[in-house]
């Protein structure tokens, strides 16, 4: 029986998403204008909850479409304006350029990455040691590079590993167009191997994702909000590291201990080892690649190695915006490896551009948060705290808000408020410095709880890899839970009990110098904030 035109419109709406999901999105779109007409503040928080719902259901439907519909409606009914959305996009232009160019640049270095990580994966038998290695490496790189770049590298490698195994067991040879999400052709034996392999890759990716948070909090270049906080406080690179040390060092140690414990006791979805059958397939693949490797392939590896050195050097010394360095990687890698057709270059952009569009939608939701002053009551409440309570509550408030919103936005709002308090003589310079530490660590550590709290986690959740290894929003939250508890609690303990005495000790031994409030004010004025 032919489908009617009306049913065709309904069936086409959000495609293959479940009917209950479609009805939920339609219900959101219907109720939002009515809630906004009654209470704009409540409507803003309802919209945030709805957007988080679309992220949580990312495996049912990519969040860009339903989230985008919510954002368009929010602008249409006056919850925010196109100008405010544009302002948020302009403020985060470097992040957008990073996604457009850097992730594409990593695509052209897959051969080298797969070569290096295959050696590591097959050379280290202990899953605990391998997990710790992934976590520490991601932390170290994220302290000097960008967390999204680091996670993009690891995703690229994981996709390569997954494809090797799946092509072999599915009998598809080297056909990359095979749909890896279907398992009907697999025997029970290989299906179990595949499930174990997925669990193995999930755990490594989560360890690496948490590692980017552990490393990103330590330096002024580790996360975008760190740079804003350092700028407002007038801290240089070395001073930033030292001021964060009373919190970041204990948190890092406990983070690595958590990594060891969850692997050793196989809890929260961790502990799966690399199946022996899969190891053998990867070994055979490595041997086959070695025999097939020509001088052309070797030359490409050397070129990609040289470009990797440039990438690390350029990012570590901030020779240009991250996205521009990514563009240089694309130009160099394609030029010296013979990739000159437009369609070959275009494939590199397929992974990141959907997420870039989703991030623009995310910033539209942030624009609603700004225009509706959703964080206003929390900020006012925390600012009116006094003494030690203020430090602890700044950390907690930043952590909670960063779980649902953009870390850069939360960090910027709080550091500006604290700066104004300093300029108005409400707080001392020493209190300002410690509050800045609380804001930085608060926006970086507890936010590992959810994918929308960490851009690296959100990128992983919405990547092409997530459905392949069955990494959903809920599963990610569960796997992050032990880290969330440990990092948040240890961070809070350090802020409450260690920060003030250890900072005083750092002053005494000369590792830190006192700033005057007038210096901070003049610095802020000269920086244009």
Whole-number Å distance between alpha carbons of 230 and 433: 10
Is the per-residue pLDDT at 66 higher than 90? yes
| 175 C-beta neighbours (distance < 10 Å), count | 9
Point out the least confidently predicted range of 11-20, 81-90, 266-275, 454-463.
Answer: 454-463
Tell me which residue of 75, 161, 80 sits closest to 118, measured CA to CA: 161
For residue 298, give both structure tokens. Answer: 């070797």
Tell me which residue of 338, 425, 406 sits closest to 368, measured CA to CA: 406
User: Taking the C-alpha atoms of 290, 295, 299 and 300 in order, what is their torsion angle to the nearest 10 degrees?
Assistant: -60
Is the per-residue pLDDT at 519 higher than 70? no
Sign of the CA dihedral 404, 407, 408, 414?
Answer: positive
Chain-centre distance for alpha carbon 259: 18
> What confidence score (pLDDT) does residue 517 get?
58
List, in order, residues 6 or more apart from 357 with CB less than 8 Å away. Answer: 64, 68
Three-state DSSP state, 57: coil
Point out the least confidently predicted range of 105-114, 134-143, 330-339.
Answer: 105-114
Three-state DSSP state, 338: coil
Give the CB-side neighbour count of residue 352, counting CA atoms within 13 A. 27
**Are the beta carbons of 398 and 438 closer than 8 angstroms?**
yes
For residue 203, give both structure tokens. Answer: 């755990």
Chain mean pLDDT for the chain: 85
Chain-centre distance for alpha carbon 353: 16
Whole-number Å distance between alpha carbons of 504 and 491: 18
For 270-318, the pLDDT digits (tens) are: 999 988 888 888 888 888 888 888 898 889 989 999 998 898 888 777 7
Is the per-residue pLDDT at 56 higher than 80? no
Point out the least confidently predicted range of 174-178, 265-269, 462-466, 468-472.
Answer: 174-178
List, in order, residues 6 or more apart from 10 with CB less than 8 Å away. Answer: 22
Give the model's confidence band at 208: pLDDT under 50 very low, under 70 low, under 90 confident, else very high. very high
Q: Name residue, tokens 């599963």.
A: 475
């Amino acid at each position: 029986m032919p489908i009617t035109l009306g049913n065709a419109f309904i069936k086409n709406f959000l495609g293959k998403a479940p009917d209950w999901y479609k009805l939920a999105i339609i219900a959101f779109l219907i109720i939002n204008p009515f809630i906004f007409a009654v209470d704009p503040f409540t409507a803003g928080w309802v919209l945030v909850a709805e957007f988080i719902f679309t992220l949580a259901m990312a495996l049912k439907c990519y969040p860009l479409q339903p989230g985008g519909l919510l954002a368009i409606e929010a602008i249409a009914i006056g919850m925010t304006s196109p100008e405010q959305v544009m302002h948020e996009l302009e403020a985060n232009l470097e992040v957008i350029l990073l996604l457009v160019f850097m992730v594409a640049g990593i695509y052209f270095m897959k051969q080298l990455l797969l070569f290096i990580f295959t050696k590591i994966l097959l050379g280290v038998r202990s899953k605990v040691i391998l997990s710790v290695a992934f976590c520490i490496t991601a932390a170290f790189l994220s302290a000097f590079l960008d967390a999204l770049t680091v996670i993009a590298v690891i995703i690229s490698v994981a996709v390569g590993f997954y494809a090797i195994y799946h092509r072999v067991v599915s009998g598809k040879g080297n056909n990359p167009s095979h749909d890896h999400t279907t398992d009907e052709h697999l025997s029970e034996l290989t299906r179990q191997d595949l499930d174990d392999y997925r669990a193995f890759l999930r755990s490594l990716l989560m360890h690496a994702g948490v590692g980017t948070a552990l490393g990103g909090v330590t330096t002024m270049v580790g996360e975008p909000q760190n740079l804003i906080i350092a700028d407002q406080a007038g801290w240089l690179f070395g001073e930033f590291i030292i001021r964060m040390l009373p919190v970041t060092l204990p948190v890092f140690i406990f983070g690595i201990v958590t990594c060891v414990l969850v692997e050793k006791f196989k809890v929260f979805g961790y502990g799966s080892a690399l199946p022996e059958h899969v190891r053998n397939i990867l070994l055979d693949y490595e041997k086959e690649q070695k025999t097939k490797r020509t001088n052309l392939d070797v030359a490409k590896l050397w070129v990609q190695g040289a470009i990797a050195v440039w990438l690390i050097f350029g990012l570590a010394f901030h020779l240009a915006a991250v996205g521009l360095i990514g563009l240089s990687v694309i130009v160099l890698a394609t030029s010296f490896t013979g990739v000159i057709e437009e369609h070959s270059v275009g494939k590199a952009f397929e992974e990141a551009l959907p997420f870039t569009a989703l991030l623009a939608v995310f910033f539209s939701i942030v624009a609603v948060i700004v225009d509706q002053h959703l964080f206003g009551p929390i900020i006012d409440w925390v600012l009116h705290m006094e003494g030690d309570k203020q430090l602890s509550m700044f950390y907690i408030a930043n952590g909670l808000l960063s779980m649902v919103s953009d870390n850069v936005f939360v960090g910027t709002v709080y550091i500006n408020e604290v700066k104004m308090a300093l300029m108005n003589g409400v707080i001392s310079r020493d209190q300002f410095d410690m509050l800045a530490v609380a804001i930085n660590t608060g926006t970086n550590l507890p936010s590992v709880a959810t994918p929308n709290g960490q851009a690296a986690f959100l990128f992983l959740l919405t990547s092409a890899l997530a459905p392949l290894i069955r990494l959903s929003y809920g599963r990610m939250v569960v796997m992050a839970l032990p880290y969330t508890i440990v990092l948040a609690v240890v961070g809070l303990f350090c802020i409450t009990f260690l920060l003030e005495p250890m900072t005083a000790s750092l002053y005494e031994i000369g590792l830190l110098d006192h700033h005057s409030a007038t210096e901070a004010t003049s610095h802020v004025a000269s920086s244009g904030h």
